[in-house]
Structure 1
Amino acid sequence: MKEIVALDIGGTHARFAIATIDEGHVVELGKDVTLKCAEHASLALAWEAFEREIDRPVPREAGIAVACPISGDILKMTNNPWIIQPSQLKARLGLDDFALVNDFGAVGHAVAQVGPDYMRHLCGPEIDLPSEGVISIIGPGTGLGVASLLRRNGQYAVMETEGGHVDFAPLDGVEDRILSALRSRFRRVSVERIVSGPGLSNLYEVIGELQNRPLVLKDNRALWTTAMAGTDTMASAALERFCLSLGSVAGDLALAHGAKGVVVAGGLGQRLADILPHSGFAERFVAKGRFENMMSEMPVKIITHPQPGLYGAAAAYAAKTADITVA
């Protein structure tokens, strides 16, 4: 067994922890330390702050998740001033080795390794996720993360995708009107325009226009709080439509991936864990015409681990060092 640093870098916060790994898997994820990126001028300075916080030298190996595509010599994130150069990470952070993954790729590694105790049943048969085949992962948050996990012969591989940017497909008259209204704003309407944190505001605004009702809730955070409390009929209508669309999109992605199971992740996945099972999610998920029977036999879960990004960053490094990849 060995200790490594797990690091999940977002636009606003950087989360650190010491993880213990063994034979390609995470054995334990220590207490996390959350730092505001704006309070540290660089990743290296935040790294030093973490070291001071835990009051001990940190390991020289790390799994690092970053909220941006992992490509090119310089990684830049929205709302985060840090410049991350993968080729310089060993020198800047004093590392001997590291694994660098996209933040939603890290969630894919977490799904692969956390086990059934961190999987809450959403719909379909109440069975564990399959040990062989593809699992689709969909995570509404600031945007819409999509990945697929392939398991084969005790190994696995995570495929990061841009599935959140596929076209939105309306399924009833209300959604026809929602698409028409949003097309006038965005020209092309991807599913992320609806199935994401900001997407709820888009739905709320369009529903207000359709109902000729004034918009009382201008702030997205307040809208989410009110919608989940059920204290405003238009906010509730927007949330109902959000859950329907999430079910439709999750089902479409599962079909496209050839999946045998689905996991809902992302910050909103956990937040909606008590709402989704009683919404129209399940009905929309299976409503795929000739494939309804197949879809109804697919287990759908919500990942409940409190830090899937951190856990997944550690899991990505563990998998790399043990070469746990599908041949």
Structure 2
Amino acid sequence: MKIVTVDLGGTNARFAIADLHDDRRPTLGKSRKYRTADHGGLTDAWAAFARDEGGALPKAASIAIAGPVESDLIRFTNNSWVIRPATLAAELGIEQLRLFNDFAAMAAAVGVLEADELAHVGGPEGPLPGKGLTTVIGPGTGLGVAQLLRREGHNIVLPTEGGHIDFAALDGFEEKLLARLRERHRRVSVERVVSGPALADIRATIALIASEPIVPMDDAAVWESATDGSDRVSVQALDRFVMSFGAVAGDLALAQGAQSVVITGGLSNRIADRLASPLFNDRFRAKGRFERRMADIPIRLARHPEAGLLGAAAAYQEEHRR
């Protein structure tokens, strides 16, 4: 069976044709990317994909969307697109349609990744457990968290809002960071500290404590200067970010009773070397009486280049296997 698989974000919409299988993961065809700003809506981008594919598209689709998918009207933060789930299939001219939250799709992708697509970050070497629960986590615009439960040959995805639990400061610096964030936010969740935009706040806090001038930078510039080493304070901020990420990932794995953890996303892949360092791993394991258990949890980094497309197809395939 062939379907159209779509990974729909605020800036870009990615499309591919996927072949579904009974005995192995979906096979993706050529992926195509369209800037949302260049198209009036999903139907326009769909038509562009159909044109570029050179013919009629399959009559079924699975779409991963960056945001909740349960409402009657889906709006995007970074573009003017609006999706009405009740009428979308008719608008696209298809017969079967499934919508998934983008991070639920990411967890579905993790469920079908091969061993060489999961880079070692921490914990024991070797393959991930074949059954049990995996915490899937990845920082982006926010902090995505999902659970992947492997049971009786099935991959069951459990979306969560784990990125919105309260942030807990673990040392003097984090107490100062938390106090500073509380001046602007009624409540400080973990994604205020572990997400792409958070790096600028961490950097500004470091400069403030050291009585240094806070040189304004947009988020992209802060990340660039942190990863290429061109700005000392940005580098320090990135180290602090990784430490907090390790603590949060460990808290969630402990709370969820996870047998493994998989980290996902473009930002995570940019800092793979730091994630594999003690900055991340020491904080991940530092859970008091459960430190030994935490050290036994394998932690991996997902490396698939089109995990969103693969995940949307895998989630659709899994639903049709049950």
> What TM-score do the two structures reach when normalised by structure 1?
0.96
Q: Tell me, in whole angstroms, the C-alpha distance in 2 between the residues paired with 1:145 and 1:23.
A: 29
Separation in 2, partners of 1:160, 1:5: 22
2:310 corresponding residue in structure 1: 311
Q: Which residue of 1 aligns with 2:132?
A: 133
The Cα shift of 1:160 comes to 0.8
**How far apart are 1:217 and its partner, in Å?**
4.6
Counterpart residue number, 1:209:
208
Q: Using CA pairs below 8 Å that are at least 6 residues apart, which structure has the higher relative contact order?
A: 1
Amino acid at match of 1:312: G
- Structure 1 pair 95–24 and aligned structure 2 pair: CA distance change class (3 A): farther
Pick closer, same or farther for the CA change 1:72–1:25 going to 2, 3 Å. Answer: farther
Contact 2:26 2:313 in 1 (8 A): no
1:221 maps to: 220
Q: Point out where structure 2 has 5 or more consecutive residues left out of the alignment.
A: none
- Alpha-carbon distance, 1:46 to partner: 0.9
Query: Is 1:170 equivalent to 2:169 in the alignment?
Result: yes
For 1:211 and 1:185, locate their aligned partners in 2 and report how far apart those are by CA, in whole Å. 21
Q: CA deviation at 1:113?
A: 1.1
The CA deviation at 1:109 is 0.4
In structure 2, the partner of 1:287 is 286
Aligned residue in 1 for 2:268? 269
CA displacement, residues 272-324 of structure 1 (integer Å, 9 cap, x when unaligned): 1123212510000000000000000000000000011111011111111112x
Q: C-alpha separation between the residues in 1 aligned to 2:39 and 2:231?
A: 40
Shift of 1:25: 4.6
The aligned residue for residue 85 of structure 1 is 84
Q: Which amino acid aligns with 1:174?
A: F
Aligned residues of 2:167 and 2:188 also touching (Cα < 8 A): yes
**CA–CA separation in structure 1 for the residues paired with 2:64 and 2:281:** 31
Offset at residue 119 of structure 1 (A): 0.5
Q: CA deviation at 1:38?
A: 1.5
Output the CA distance in 2 between the equivalents of 1:317 and 1:50. Answer: 20
2:228 & 2:74 partners in 1: Cα distance?
Answer: 39
Give distance in 1, aligned partners of 2:82 and 2:293: 46
Note if contact 2:154-2:318 (Cα within 8 Å) is conserved in structure 1: no
Count of residues in Structure 1 that have an aligned counterpart in Structure 2: 322
Is the 1:63–1:98 contact (alpha carbons within 8 Å) kept by the matching residues of 2?
Answer: yes
CA deviations on 1:131-181 (whole Å, 9 max, x unpaired) are: 111100111011110001111111121111111011111111111111111
- Distance in structure 2 (CA, Å) of the matches to 1:24 and 1:106: 19
Unaligned 5+ runs, structure 1: none
Q: Is 2:121 the counterpart of 1:156?
A: no
Q: Over the residues paired in the alignment, what is the CA RMSD in angstroms?
A: 1.2
1:106 aligned to 2:105? yes
Q: Is the 2:46–2:92 contact (alpha carbons within 8 Å) kept by the matching residues of 1?
A: yes
What secondary structure sits across from 2:49 in the alignment?
A: helix
Distance in 2, matches of 1:170 and 1:99, equals 40
By how many angstroms is 1:24 displaced? 6.7
% of aligned pairs identical? Answer: 48
Q: Distance in 1 between matches of 2:23 and 2:145?
A: 24
Letter in 1 for 2:228: A
Which whole-Å deviations, capped at 9, do the CAs of 1:162-206 have from their partners, x for residues lacking one? 110111111111111111111112131111111100000010111
Encode CA deviations 1:103-152: one digit per residue, 9 max, x unaligned: 00100100011221210010000121111111001110111100011111
Residue in structure 2 matched with residue 244 of structure 1 by the alignment: 243
Q: Decide which moves more: 293-302 or 51-60.
A: 51-60
